[in-house]
Structure 1
């Protein structure tokens, strides 16, 4: 018998158990039934199981009251061969929003795994960009989830979505110290970029979830620990985004939101906010995060295409950032000594150009 045609054992029992869970959302799942089927899944047998199992799992997740981790794990495996638009026919926007709002990290990861599929093509990313409520819930969960794995997943998904959608991307891709930052691919449509950076509600959401102020003291505001987690997540994703579209992260149309949430004037974008106004430098860990961010950021900007706007922006930004921070300035000036030898000289010249006259 061809191995691909061997039936998956235990499917009938699992299907019956799913019916039981659907009838009584308070039931505990029988983990062995799920594990036995999941371990047998292959690219060949998954398609035939999707119509039998996935709709039931989706319906159960809408009302389930126990930890859904085992359900979400199986769902992610079953969704593997499906594209983003195919999944939307099974799990529409409302289901994605519900999963993103769930306190269960497994449900958050499931929803983000579905959104990640939109990063496979510019057309799928454009479809997601039109789903403003889903994007808002995704950004909220990415920044506010207490679980590290949810934050890391969100950072990857956001970066990949903006990468495939970028309409100003470096044509030949970029790599630093052998690490690929952006891949060589055709430009996207830019709709996801406009949703994140030019949608007033989404831009305000990013600012509010990363800044201190009265809005954090309101019900549902982030704790001090969670605020630092959110800030760390933004700092880690910005170097990649700045490599793709420097202008989008360097300036904003919403100067009033800068004033409201972060207390600074002008049209500086998320790059300006994160570098100069977001981090409490008295917090040693966050100060180290800021230094690490700027070192990564400058290493990448050295190899992005030259523009007068970029260099003027960097000179002003780094001047302001280091003017009263000798630890940061010393770290940046010593960065070439800590990079790979073949790139040290060029990086040193680049840093001197943006910081040498400070």
Structure 2
């Protein structure tokens, strides 16, 4: 007998238990029952269970006062075969925003798992780009969650979403040190890029959370680290988007310079307190990743001139950073070392 056709045992009991929790979210969870059902789930037997279980789970999660880890685990398993738009027909934008805003990391991961689905197609990414409140809540939680796993998932999802949505991607993809940075695929619509980098409120939100985080200096450092890690990938996808801003007044506010420079300049030159040793190391890692990837992106005079200016300003009073950049070719794979050395010499104008 095909194991996928064997009925999932315990579903009726679980449905009854979920009804009880909908009526009274303060009841104790029957963790064994949840585990018993979840362990039996497969791609083949999940679909008929989705309409039975997922709406009830969503309802409970809106008002469940305890750690919702067990509820979220089952919900994530049930969502596996669904695409982004299918999930939106079952769980409202409001419910997803509540999960993003939850203090429980399991709820954040659940909501981010849904957003991750939008990175599967340019059309779904474009739909997400229209959800201003959702994007805002995602950015806040990505830069405000103290848990490493939430920050890492947020960074990956943001990169994947902007990757699928990118309308300027290098047509043949990009690989550095044997690792694929930009996958070869058709261009997207660019709507999510415009939502994040051309929407004044969201752009301001990112800069403010990395400059004066309401949760304090420790969370501010985490936010800065997360932005630094995602920017080299974004710069490979759309260099102009991260080096140009329509908001000269926000640059005045956060960098004390009135110009149209973008978020790359902010992160590279103004954001980090170099007296903070850990953040200085993060900044060095950022420059090493940025230059390694930019060596293989399509040539443009604008790119070279911009990188020259950023590196010149960043290394002017920072010999440790300059030494790290100069010795970077020694720490890369041998077959790429010579070209990287030439590229760095060009950027640094060194002989």
- Given candidates 217, 225, 232, the residue that maps to 1:232 is 225
- The answer to whether the aligner puts 1:246 opposite 2:239 as a matched pair is yes
Match of 2:23 in 1: 23
- The answer to whether the aligner puts 1:341 opposite 2:334 as a matched pair is yes
- Given candidates 259, 265, 284, the residue that maps to 1:266 is 259
Match of 1:317 in 2: 310
Instruction: Give the drift of 1:262.
Output: 3.7
Structure 2: tracts of 5 or more residues without a match:
none
Instruction: Give the drift of 1:97.
Output: 0.9
Task: Check whether the contact 1:166–1:189 (CA below 8 A) recurs between aligned residues.
Answer: yes
- Given candidates 294, 298, 310, the residue that maps to 1:301 is 294
Aligned counterparts of 2:72 and 2:255: Cα–Cα separation in 1: 38
Aligned counterparts of 1:346 and 1:93: Cα–Cα separation in 2: 48
Structure 1: tracts of 5 or more residues without a match:
none
Match of 1:189 in 2: 189
Aligned counterparts of 1:12 and 1:345: Cα–Cα separation in 2: 65
Task: Check whether the contact 1:101–1:141 (CA below 8 A) recurs between aligned residues.
Answer: yes
Match of 2:130 in 1: 130
Instruction: Give the drift of 1:261.
Output: 3.1
Superposed counterparts of 1:30-45, under 5 Å: 30-45=30-45
Aligned counterparts of 2:298 and 2:225: Cα–Cα separation in 1: 27
Instruction: Give the drift of 1:44.
Output: 0.5
Residues 181-207 of structure 1 deviation map (CA, whole Å, 9 limit, x = unaligned):
010000000000000100001100000
Once the two structures are overlaid, the 10-residue window that deviates more, 197-206 or 12-21, is 12-21
Name the TM-score, length of structure 2 as normaliser.
0.98
Instruction: Give the drift of 1:357.
Output: 4.2
Match of 1:179 in 2: 179
For residue 157 of structure 2, give the secondary structure of its aligned residue in structure 1. Answer: helix
Match of 1:331 in 2: 324
Instruction: Give the drift of 1:348.
Output: 0.2
Task: Check whether the contact 1:47–1:81 (CA below 8 A) recurs between aligned residues.
Answer: yes
Match of 2:5 in 1: 5
- The answer to whether the aligner puts 1:351 opposite 2:337 as a matched pair is no
Instruction: Give the drift of 1:254.
Output: 0.7
Aligned counterparts of 2:113 and 2:237: Cα–Cα separation in 1: 23
Once the two structures are overlaid, the 10-residue window that deviates more, 299-308 or 90-99, is 90-99
Instruction: Give the drift of 1:10.
Output: 1.0
Once the two structures are overlaid, the 10-residue window that deviates more, 115-124 or 15-24, is 15-24
Task: Check whether the contact 1:27–1:66 (CA below 8 A) recurs between aligned residues.
Answer: no
Aligned counterparts of 2:9 and 2:92: Cα–Cα separation in 1: 30
Once the two structures are overlaid, the 10-residue window that deviates more, 335-344 or 261-270, is 261-270
Aligned counterparts of 2:165 and 2:104: Cα–Cα separation in 1: 29
Name the TM-score, length of structure 1 as normaliser.
0.97
RMSD over aligned Cα, in angstroms? 1.0
Instruction: Give the drift of 1:105.
Output: 0.5
For residue 175 of structure 1, give the secondary structure of its aligned residue in structure 2. Answer: strand
Aligned counterparts of 1:26 and 1:2: Cα–Cα separation in 2: 39
Match of 1:119 in 2: 119
Aligned counterparts of 1:12 and 1:325: Cα–Cα separation in 2: 65
For residue 89 of structure 2, give the secondary structure of its aligned residue in structure 1. Answer: helix
Aligned counterparts of 2:250 and 2:139: Cα–Cα separation in 1: 17
Aligned counterparts of 2:346 and 2:255: Cα–Cα separation in 1: 29
For residue 271 of structure 1, give the secondary structure of its aligned residue in structure 2. Answer: helix
